[in-house]
Structure 1
Amino acid sequence: SDVRLVVHFDIPGSVEAYYQEVGRAGRDGRPAACVLLFHERDLATQEYFIQQASNDAEGAERAKRMKTLLQEMLGYVSVPTCRQLAILDYFSDQAERALGPCGLCDRCVAPAPRLSREVSCEDADSAKAVLETVTWCRSRFGVSRIVEILRGSRSKAMQEYGAEGCPTYGTCRTRSKLSVTGLVKDLIDSGYLQVDGTEYPTLDVTHKGQEVLQGISTILLKQAETSQSDVPGKKPFREGVMAVVIPKASPADPQLFERLKQLRTELAEEEGVAAFLIFHDKTLKAIAGHKPVTPAALMEVPGIGALKAERYGRRVLEVVNGAE
């Protein structure tokens, strides 16, 4: 619990692995640092593991999954904006993301100058596909759903939405989730897309974006965020990120916290994922402090978004109400 520094000499095989490993730093609540060293040559180790996994027919699917996870990790390495926001985007933690950039990572402390640039042909095609996807969706979806459509997600939700009928479905499947998400947000920051709504934000194409679709203009994207670190006592923040007021909670009920941890273990086993992907400890402590008794109250707890409330809310409330 007193680890002050975590150094990755080689790139991890996935964002999940990286997140779990850096999470060992600063568990005692004191400041800690994480360093990731990377060079393209380092990929040889991970590619070797992927090759080993694909040696037999049964391992082919596993190797494919490993390759996808590695691409996601590469997207994180090259992300031009706040690294904490990139992690939160990856895990779709919108409640935490609403708090804005961390102000501590290398991207926040020394961001690249924010300059307009013409995009490459590949990025231009992908950017246009983003605009076409938002248009096809008729402003029904937010960033996460748009990214899923572009990357050809075959999730149950996407099938129910009829996403395969979208002309741009899967056009960005070779790009990482972080890369496509970053492109969508660059289009927002550059004025080609706008975010409507606060509780359930959706995307819409602006007049500027319509001109691109009509062939009247080309796309110019802003490379990185403007630093506000020169303003004394003020953290950098991202345009379009809404600050939220988190209700003050009572100290976490230790018995309820343990019950919630047990529920998290059960949910993780049922879904075959790591427990921290279900809920973070701090989210469980917040629930144990707030003790929400209704779905609406549960949604006010930091770390509980619409997706998690829908997926796990009933069982969480059963534990909370049963503990009263």
Structure 2
Amino acid sequence: MPASNHAPARDHGIDAAPDALAVLHAVFGLSGFRGAQEQIVRHVTDGGNCLVLMPTGGGKSLCYQLPSLLREGCGIVVSPLIALMRDQVAGLTEAGVKAAALNSTLSFDEANSVEQRLIAGDLDLLYVAPERLLTPRCLSLLDRAKIALFAIDEAHCVSQWGHDFRPEYIGLSVIAERFAEVPRIALTATADELTRKEITARLGLADAPQFVASFDRPNIKYEIVDKQNAQTQLKAFIRERHAGDAGIVYCLSRAKVEDTAETLNRAGIPALPYHAGLDAAVRARHQDRFLNEDGLVIVATIAFGMGIDKPDVRFVAHLDLPKSIEAYYQETGRAGRDGKPSSAWMAYGLSDIVQQRRMIEESAGADSFKRVSIGKLDALVGLAETTGCRRSRLLGYFGETFAEGKCGNCDNCLSPPLVRDGKVVAQKLLSCVYRIGQRFGAMHLIDVLIGRLNARVKQFGHDRLSVFGIGRELNEKQWRAVLRQLVAMGHLQADSEAFGALKLTESARAVLKGKTVVMLREQTSGRDRPSRTKSKRSDPAPQPASRGTAVDANLLGALRAWRSEVARKRGVPAYVVLHDSTIEGIAASHPSTPEQLRDIPGIGDKKLERYGRELIALVNSADD
């Protein structure tokens, strides 16, 4: 293992060849690695390149932060978001690591100071935006510095098949060409096989090993409900399940973001809007409030979220269908980073499929891109419509087999949906689509099926068709569910040339002839279904370190108040000072000496030095 000249190693009395576990404990206050972390850390520390796929909250950052401390030189981290850089730098600085960032928020003098520190060898980690790294000035700067490694975070951004493609990431191929001897580690929380191939090709990692951790987030409950009145459903979900919790609500349009935030505020649920149409200062202020305050809900477009490190987001809700399973997984993964029970809730309807498909068809992308995009959308619709375990379906998309079959922590496992033979119902609906000319949308189609004699039905003479009124056994809500499922099965699709119109696909012929089995899920209400199965994962969160005692609520309250005050004075989010799991560990263990406090996960040497006396005093006061 290469020698290290890093301050953390020297400060903590570690020898010239510091041990990874020793630095892990000294700097980050952790006693051991999770999953493949140790293998990745040792591989990169020894000079190897790799691609790391690890779920949000799985410990990706440590996979490059620790090798940067163990290797000679400064680790260069390519990061797409200023907010992420700021949080990472603040957290590392709290732990005693010499970290900085180069981005557009710095003045000329501030940027120059960071550059001088890099050249002087006074930095352990430097975060840089991709567009900044690619400038001649920055590349020249890196040529003169001692570089420990390059970490490309959110590496899916390099791929046009990824859910958050960033054109500026394509230029990062220069790293492999210009700094061939410096190890490279690319990291992402989501990438299917197509995306992985492009990441490895563009970043020169074709021959590098891939470390793929389990995508399972057992603490997240997945739930998808039939969209009826989405905002009313959302308010009920928050009030009944997450009152007072921090959460993120995703909407497709800026107007819907504004309207939903206003609706939540009127309902007494504190909420802030976030989208690209807001002034940059407003966006920054809203993001800072969300990170620093408790119990706020942020309502946002996909402009918000990537790299957000807030660990106590208790729910992520979608009022519109995302573009792909990758996007859904990435966005829902922002809930429960601390491992505690959290929710991923989505309201979904037929209009979502039609809208997303129209956006794909009308996009300027090549036909190959549109085909892949439609395939990704179909996979997400399949997840929304499945009658089986959602977690199993989700993990299967990423090539991971869920051995248990049922997770016990998704809506379908907790309350299995009723399934019936839907052949006759499907034939009625598809026949109706055909008879009215495949030129009309869902509402008109349902009007004809249930025999609703309105002006539009009369105008086109559809009341004189043999299919008029043949579907009176189902109501409008039930027919919408049937429609949605037939679209999900591929027997119906939206016509991109006729807005909102539904047309038959080739597979519909076999359904009409009775050659295809059609099993349909019974329509449910938009509210939670009553559970028929007790969750096997009702409390999957790891318990805080303790000596067998319960968390002291009074001490926990005092610790939270102390942490909030420290965070306010230092100008950082509360979780940067100490994570919830750390203060809960203190409230359970009641450490009375520095040695006992040092045993709490998350208390490294610098935090013990900086906060140890105050924390022990708080514990002693609670024990008096």
Which structure is richer in relative contact order (CA contacts within 8 A, separation 6 or more)?
1
TM-score scaled by length of structure 2: 0.20
More strand by share: 2
TM-score scaled by length of structure 1: 0.36
Rg larger in structure:
2
More helix by share: 1
